[in-house]
Amino acid sequence: MLAPHASTTAPLVDPFQRAISYLRVSVTDRCDFRCVYCMSEHMTFLPKRDLLSLEELDRLCSAFVRLGVRRLRLTGGEPLVRRDVMTLIRSLGRHLESGALDELTLTTNGSQLARYAADLTAAGVRRVNVSLDTLDPAKFKAVTRWGDLAQVQGGIDAALAAGLDVKINAVALRGVNEDEIPAMIDWAHARGMDLSLIETMPLGDIDGDRTDQYLPLSLVRARLAQRFTLNDIPYRTGGPARYVSVAETGGRIGFITPMTHNFCESCNRVRVTCTGTLYMCLGQDDAADLRAPLRGSDSDDRLEEAIRDAIARKPKGHDFIIDRRNAKPAVARHMSTTGG
């Protein structure tokens, strides 16, 4: 009798006894926006030969599912600008049908949602995160450089109409959107959408000074508490947000605070780039090449061995800091490279 495959008996556990059950995979580094906190306006993107094919992405994600990953999030760049990406999403949906995967989700800027919302629902996606930092059209154009707020709002409408749960992700930016956060809460909650607020993170050169953008969410929460009744709740979605309920609206606000209060102690996440590089921590440079074992063998044994070796090096936490004395980002790679 053959011995059982190792992946059926040994889930992924890091050196700090955290089970790795959540994978975020970037399917492309390209985006149709150039958000000021994420990218330089004049980005140089990767050549196509460096990117994993859709078939390779499927194989890689499936290996992680065999190793115990229960939640899978596709990111970018903007994932929906990847040619034929629905082929990948529909294929990954088989893991939902088998029960091997609990959730297949997407983080998007919303620009392509009107086109794809119904297809996403049909493929088994039940929830999407939409990155949206302002409801002011002129300000939206300034933040995204290339974006159209009406197009994104139309995409959100389409997603809701298709039955998708939508969560809005907003990066809190000093002097940009801090005065309209209460209005965004009212808007999102009135439509049944949660709103998560995110501190800007020092990833990649962005043609600007992040110290001018940085707004601690501890300050934001204190301001919101003067207007709303905020109650801590145990609600979790598998990600890093810590949620409160808002008595006045009946909705939820998530706070993602990598700078003022990191969430490393309970981190169950790893990220894979569109080139097959596995980052065990968003805020560290240590990484593992999964593209070589993917392309080097038709068997997944070397791939699974590389994944296990990498998880054995997962650090306890990140080293994010925003310092006016040091203009360089804490990590040189852009968020669009790692996966948003």
How far is residue 217's CA from residue 198's CA, in Å, rounded to a whole number?
8
How far is residue 114's CA from residue 111's CA, in Å, rounded to a whole number?
8
- Give the contacts of 17 (CB within 8 A, at least 6 positions apart): none
Annotated binding-site residue? 37: yes
Kindly list the domain boundaries of the chain, sorted by start residue. 18-338
Sort strands 287-289 and 277-279 into parallel, antiparallel or unpaired. Answer: antiparallel
pLDDT of residue 262: 57
Annotated binding-site residue? 167: yes
Annotated binding-site residue? 227: no
Annotated binding-site residue? 201: yes
Name the amino acid, one letter, at 9: T
Annotated binding-site residue? 274: no
Q: Which helix (H) or strand (E) holds 270?
A: strand 269-272
Over its length of 340 residues, how does the chain's per-residue pLDDT go in tens digits? Answer: 334 444 455 789 999 999 999 999 999 999 998 888 777 777 788 888 999 999 999 999 999 999 999 999 999 999 999 999 999 999 999 999 999 999 999 999 999 999 999 999 999 999 999 999 999 999 999 999 999 999 999 999 999 999 999 999 999 999 999 999 999 999 999 999 999 999 886 544 445 554 577 889 999 999 999 999 999 999 988 778 899 999 999 999 999 986 655 567 778 899 999 999 999 987 778 899 999 999 999 999 999 999 999 999 998 776 545 444 454 544 454 555 565 5
pLDDT per residue over 179-233, tens digit each? 999 999 999 999 999 999 998 865 444 455 545 778 899 999 999 999 999 999 9
Q: Which helix (H) or strand (E) holds 98?
A: helix 85-98
**Domain with residues 18-338, CATH architecture:** Alpha-Beta Barrel (3.20)
Annotated binding-site residue? 267: yes
Annotated binding-site residue? 68: no
Annotated binding-site residue? 24: yes
Contact between 170 and 184 (Cβ < 8 Å):
yes
pLDDT per residue over 285-303, tens digit each? 889 999 999 999 999 999 9
Please provide residue 92's backbone torsions phi and psi, each rounded to the nearest 5 degrees: -65, -25
Contact between 95 and 69 (Cβ < 8 Å):
no
pLDDT of residue 274: 96
Annotated binding-site residue? 166: no
Planar angle of CA 306, 312, 314, nearest 5 degrees: 105
